[in-house]
Amino acid sequence: MSLKKFTMEKIIWTFVMLLLSELCAGQNILPPGPLSGAVADRVVFSTTLTPPASPFLSINWNFKGVNIITSTSSNIIDPGYASRISLDRSTGSLELRNLVLQDGGEYTLTITPDGGLQTQGRIVLNVYTPITGATIRSAAAVLIEEESSTNLTCEASGSVSSREWMKDGHLLQAGHTISFSADNSTVSLHPVFSSSHGTYQCRVSNPVSAQTAVLQLTVSYGPYNVSIIGPSAASSGDRVILHCLAASVPPANFSWMFNGSETHINSSLYVIERFQAQNSGDYSCTAMNTVTMRENSTVLNLRGKEKMFK
């Protein structure tokens, strides 16, 4: 044998042995995983193998020491899996149905090809109970800004992997008055402010399902920014409407005074049907919040317009 021929055969043999060594170790026979499945659902353990020219001599799937299925010229299936599995003999892929939590763990696939070395691969399956019944519970029924505190607790049934909190469509973050429990299930607002008022969302999820719970949190505040919208001057005979506004939750109650005297008008509107000289003066609007028991006032000075003579 020539040296050149011997060297070429040695190179080819080394390449084949390396290839078989990698195959035997199970590299790329199964994807890296893990796989995720839902209780009562199905999952497919797909291999990366292409159907060989000659059928595999044997295929074996093992889970926690139990041979789920051994396939040669016939299939031997463990009784506990008899109605739950299907095997694709051309690739070694396995379908497992009607999943239960106990199906979670590491699975081992061993394949013996026709005329080749035995190959093996491993993959982990995680089984989750789907998320249901997601809700947010508040610890306090009535909240007053700067006086009250509360905890918002996100609850759900199923295998909870993560919780994400949002407020008014934006990610809720910890701060001076906002803190989260270790498992993110509870948000503490201590104390609450007018800015705490709004829509809170908690997205509960795992790899196979997710639900979003919503809570409209009401924080009583105000009244703030009391103002009167209306003219500062009117002509004789004009119909004048004064409108009192205030930032308040719940909506404020209003009362009016004219030149320091009660008017017994208790709405946001003060209407003068026909303005006369005696209607000139100071109109005071007081806004009152019946929950916070706070009030604020503002004054509008209304004067008559001087007549223009030609």
Of the candidate CATH numbers 2.40.30.10, 3.40.50.1220, 2.60.40.10, 2.130.10.10, the domain formed by 132-217 belongs to 2.60.40.10
Residues 222-304, CATH architecture: Sandwich (2.60)
Is-same-fold flag (132-217; 222-304)? yes
Query: What is the DSSP-derived secondary structure letter of residue 112?
Result: E
Judge whether residue 288 has pLDDT over 80.
yes
pLDDT tier for residue 9 given thresholds of 50, 70 and 90: low
Judge whether residue 4 has pLDDT over 60.
no
Spans of all domains in the chain: 31-128, 132-217, 222-304
Question: Could you report the per-residue pLDDT of 97-111, keeping only the tens digit for each?
Answer: 999 999 999 999 999
Question: Could you report the per-residue pLDDT of 39-83, keeping only the tens digit for each?
Answer: 999 999 999 999 999 999 999 999 999 999 999 999 999 999 999
d(CA 134, CA 235): 61
Instruction: Give me the residue label for tokens 């239960």.
Output: 100
pLDDT tier for residue 33 given thresholds of 50, 70 and 90: confident
Going by C-alpha positions, the residue among 92, 25, 105, 23 that lies closest to residue 60 is: 92
Q: Tokens standing for 159?
A: 């295998």
Q: 31-128: CATH homologous superfamily?
A: Immunoglobulins (2.60.40.10)
Measured CA angle at 186 (ends 180, 188), to 5 deg: 60
Question: Could you report the per-residue pLDDT of 124-170, keeping only the tens digit for each?
Answer: 999 999 999 999 999 888 999 999 999 999 999 999 999 999 999 99
Cis check: omega of the bond before 223, within 30 degrees of 0: yes
End-to-end CA distance of the chain: 132
d(CA 139, CA 141): 7
pLDDT of residue 17: 43
Question: Could you report the per-residue pLDDT of 175-202, keeping only the tens digit for each?
Answer: 999 999 999 999 999 999 999 999 999 9
pLDDT of residue 78: 97
**Please, what sign has the CA dihedral across residues 240, 245, 251, 253?**
negative
Instruction: Give me the residue label for tokens 């028991």.
Output: 293
